[in-house]
Amino acid sequence: MNKTWVGRASTPVAVVMAMVIGVSGCGKEAAPTGASASAVSGAAVASGAASGAGGPVSVSSVRAVARDVDVMLESTGTISALNSVDIRPQVSSVITKVNIREGQYVKAGQALFTLDARNDEVNLARAKAQLARDTASLADAQRQLARSRDLLAQGFISQGAVDTTQTLVDTQKAILNADHGAIRAAEVGLSYNFIKAPAAGRAGAINVYAGSTVQPGGTALVTITQLDPIAVAFSLPQRNLNDALQTMRSGGGKVVAVLPESRGEVVGRLQFVDNAVDPNSGTVKVKAVFDNAGEKLWPGAFVTVRLAVSTLKGGIVVPQASIIRGPRGSLVYTIDAAGKAAARPVELLHAAGLDAVVKGIEAGDKVVVDGRQNLRSGVPVIDRAASGAGRVGAQAASGARAVTP
């Protein structure tokens, strides 16, 4: 019996001991967790302290330069020919010969088409024959007048008979003048059969062939379009009307047509400003003329147009990427001689493309482009090469007409 009791009693004792050991083990695991949290907290504090210490910030910079900058108004324009003529016949006839090819350049007065001229040739010959007959009649009347005057001097006829003969001569002279007019009319009719170019230009698609019947109100035979010089029509907002007019008064402003697909630019001159503002769009139509010997501009195409309305002489140019805009205005960060950042408030005078003209810094100042979001005044910086828009803007700023290197 004693063995049986001891065995029952030992089981609870073992359970109690196991629980004590488990609790003790849990206590040993909790201690390292608390130590680890303390270490993490210490590291965070150390990291914050290191961050507050203000270590050097890596940035990139470019130097501000001074150069003349054209203030441009930008719009989308449509290329149009200064002279485009639809060639149509003035008489109903049949085409006997086509004298040009499609796409050929023609000169003013060059023969384009020949029509069947036989009927007009006959009319001209008839008019000339009538002139010859009436010329002979006039000569006969003049001889009769001379004889009548001789007879009157001898007293054989009366003055009335001489006057009658004089009337006949005057009538024949009038008929002769009418014949000359008929000949000129026949010559004009004949000329309609020889269609010539009214102006120089490039021939478009030819819509007729030899043997085609044509009429004055029918389809155009061909279109002659002048390509050099050529015009670009575009619209400007009403607020820029005075700028455009002032440019016209000064002799015509420079207009730059930017070709699509990076095919370059063409420079022309402003030629025309419309005499009214469109009340529906609030814009005014203007037109610029460009030399087009290289045929870079083609009628009907769209181009980006930039009109120079003024020039900022010696403007301080920086990349637009370097400007920080805020509720209190715009500023840039510059790098001083000690290699530290300095916030400089600036006034934005003009912005175009990747460049901006500002007031508030000097030519030659090193302006931060990349990394400015991490800067504060007085923070040491490590300068490195500019990248992306900063590099492109720096190259543009250091381009032509630079006053300060």
Contact 78, 392 (CB under 8 A): no
Quote the crossing angle between the two packed helices 118-154 and 159-191, to the nearest 10°: 170
Judged against a pLDDT cut of 70, whether residue 48 lies above it is answered with no
Q: What is the pLDDT of residue 386?
A: 56
Query: Which CATH number describes the domain made up of 74-82+225-311?
Result: 2.40.30.170
What is the rounded distance in angstroms from the CA atom of residue 94 to the CA atom of residue 213?
A: 4
What is the rounded distance in angstroms from the CA atom of residue 131 to the CA atom of residue 158?
A: 32
CA distances to 39, 355, 381 from 50, rounded to whole Å, are: 16, 37, 16
The model's pLDDT over 194-243, given as tens digits with 9 standing for 90+, comes to 999 999 999 999 999 999 999 998 999 999 999 999 999 999 999 889 88
Q: What is the pLDDT of residue 261?
A: 85
Which CATH architecture describes the domain 57-69+312-397? Beta Barrel (2.40)
Domains in the chain: boundaries: 57-69+312-397, 74-82+225-311, 90-223
Smallest Cα–Cα separation from 102: which of 277, 223, 236?
223
Convert the chain into a string of H (helix), E (strand) and C (coil).
CHHHHHHHHHHHHHHHHHHHHHHHHHHHHHHHHHHHHHHHHHHHHHHHHHHHCCCCEEEEEEECEEEEEEEEEEEEEEEEECCEEEECCCCCEEEEEECCCCCCEECCCCEEEEECCHHHHHHHHHHHHHHHHHHHHHHHHHHHHHHHHHHHHHCCCCHHHHHHHHHHHHHHHHHHHHHHHHHHHHHHHHHCCEEECCCCEEECCCCCCCCCEECCCCCCCEEEECCCCEEEEEEEEHHHHHHHHHHHHCCCCEEEEECHHHCCEEEEEEEEECCCCECCCCEEEEEEEECCCCCCCCCCCEEEEEEEEEEEEEEEEEEHHHCEEECCEEEEEEECCCCEEEEEEEEEEEEECCEEEEECCCCCCEEEEECHHHCCCCCEEEEECCCCHHHHHHHHHCCCCECCC
Residue 167: CB atoms within 10 A of its CB come to: 12
* Phi, psi for residue 159 in degrees, rounded to 5: -65, -30
Mean pLDDT of 93-98: 96
Smallest Cα–Cα separation from 253: which of 301, 311, 329, 309?
309
Judged against a pLDDT cut of 60, whether residue 142 lies above it is answered with yes
Q: What is the pLDDT of residue 37?
A: 36
Q: What is the pLDDT of residue 27?
A: 40
Judged against a pLDDT cut of 70, whether residue 80 lies above it is answered with yes
Which CATH architecture describes the domain 90-223? Beta Barrel (2.40)
Rounded mean pLDDT of the chain?
A: 82
pTM, full prediction: 0.62
Residue 284: CB atoms within 10 A of its CB come to: 19
Q: What is the pLDDT of residue 387?
A: 53
* Phi, psi for residue 399 in degrees, rounded to 5: -85, -145
**Maximum distance among all Cα pairs of the chain, rounded to whole angstroms:** 203
What is the rounded distance in angstroms from the CA atom of residue 320 to the CA atom of residue 313?
A: 19
The model's pLDDT over 237-291, given as tens digits with 9 standing for 90+, comes to 998 898 889 888 887 678 999 998 888 899 999 999 999 999 999 999 999 999 9
Residues in the chain: 405
Judged against a pLDDT cut of 60, whether residue 47 lies above it is answered with no
What is the rounded distance in angstroms from the CA atom of residue 71 to the CA atom of residue 356?
A: 11
What is the rounded distance in angstroms from the CA atom of residue 5 to the CA atom of residue 172?
A: 172
CA distances to 226, 319, 354, 395 from 388, rounded to whole Å, are: 43, 11, 11, 11
What is the rounded distance in angstroms from the CA atom of residue 192 to the CA atom of residue 214?
A: 12
